[in-house]
Chain A
Amino acid sequence: MNESELIDLVDESPERLYGLFADSGWGDGLPVVAPTEQRVDAMLSAHPGSPDEILAVVPPRSGACTVRMAAINAVMAGCPPEVFPVVVAAMRGLGRPEFNLRGVQATTHSVAIMVGVHGRVVDQAGYNAGFGTFGPGNRANATTGRAVRLILLHVGGGRPGDGDASTQGQPAKYTYCFAENAPASPWPLYPQCRGVDAPSAVTVAGVEGPHNIHDMWSTHPAPILTKVASVMTTLGSNNAVMSESEFFIVLCPEHAQQAAAEGWSREDVQLFLHQKARQSRAVKQQHFGSVGMEPPWMRSIDEPDAMLPMTGRPEDIRVMVSGGPGKHSCVIPSWGSISRSVTLPVDS
């Protein structure tokens, strides 16, 4: 350990930490846990590899997110060591070139980084995949998303108005983590459809916040998914102007089970939404003119009445199941085709 990495602190009172962090331009505005050597060592004990491994180079500061640096920020976020393997895997994912973390960090868009947790680690580390999975009240969900954000702020220098040019930001930039509810899902675990066959996995995606879909009346999947398609076709999201982007569709267990009861697979849901979530060439032309980004096959269609899918490939409509009882699902638009989500195994 380099002495320059350490700071002398009289005590770890909230007031003292607030003062230090305010003076240094650190923190997310909420109280943090002091990253003492003892706490960081305890966090690192949950990771079998070297603490000096670089998980990602985090722009725009180009900071080295080593395992140790991830652990320091995980301590500050309040993570229990059990979730640290998820934080490590998430940072590995953010370092992949297809994620385009520089763009996600620096854009004027309000894109936040969503962390989806899958498989065995959900129960092992105590993630909430049920009631309010996206919301407050669970330490694993809350602190995993927050640890990632603190790394982006500190290691990446993504501070509002400085490294992060987001015009308005959004609450999901504080923390954004949920868990797939595998026991309540009628379909295989989500990572399997991404070619990741591991007991535990994590998905990171640059996305908007969840847009609610309410349907407690329909008994068939078609009207439920028609409402999903209606939200997908909103003209204000980047998906509308970039027609090769991902959508995340997080169905509640009851909506998913209604679809499965009618024999619909995950792929059937994707195909239905690909067919149903469309805008006309005339509307796209009116709103986006020549700015719109489309796959080559779509560009050749110029009839004004032609209905064009919101994304070029059905498989880019990412479907998974999460949440508790009730009939509320959500659509999560993405930042656009300029960033691709990443799903990786978690070493736990």
Chain B
Amino acid sequence: MKIFRPDGAIAQPPHALSPGRRVLAGARIGVLDNLKPNAGLLMTTAAEPLAERAGTGTPLVLTKNAAKPAPEEVLDQLRREVDLVLTGSAD
């Protein structure tokens, strides 16, 4: 006998990550803080020395709600103003 698979086809392929940056020098660093406890602290603490080594000043820190996609205007600003973004969760 035959039965149907219960999962079906993928409707939208997953987004690919951008290729990793090979040279840090000159890279503008950003942080996308999801507002989970200590996320901003952890990522900003990591971003600041990176920005110092890159010689590009203070990292740009933007926020989003952890439960929702980042607003388009936040993504647009990141595209315009930074070359490397730290994001993710913390606690």
Using CB atoms and an 8 Å cutoff, list the residues of chain A in contact with chain B. 4-12, 26, 34-37, 40, 54, 57, 61-66, 68-69, 72-73, 76, 100, 102-103, 107, 150, 154-155, 157, 291, 335-336, 338-339
Contacts and interface: CB of A to CB of B under 8 A. Distances in A.
Contacts of B80: none
A69 B6 contact: yes
A209 B2 CA distance: 37
B11 to A, nearest CB: 4
A9 B2 contact: yes
Nearest to A11: B1
Contacts of B7: 26, 61, 63, 69, 154-155, 157
12 contacts: A6-B2, A6-B4, A8-B2, A9-B2, A62-B11, A62-B12, A62-B13, A65-B8, A72-B5, A72-B6, A73-B6, A157-B7
Interface residues of B, number: 19
A66 B8 CA distance: 8
DSSP class of B's interface residues: helix, strand, loop or mixed?
Answer: loop
DSSP class of A's interface residues: helix, strand, loop or mixed?
Answer: mixed
Contacts of A291: 35
Given A100-B67, A291-B35, A338-B65, A35 B11 contact: no
Q: Which of B3, B13, B67 has the most CB of A within 10 A?
A: B3
B20 interface: no
B64 to A, nearest CB: 11
Contacts of B2: 6-9, 36-37
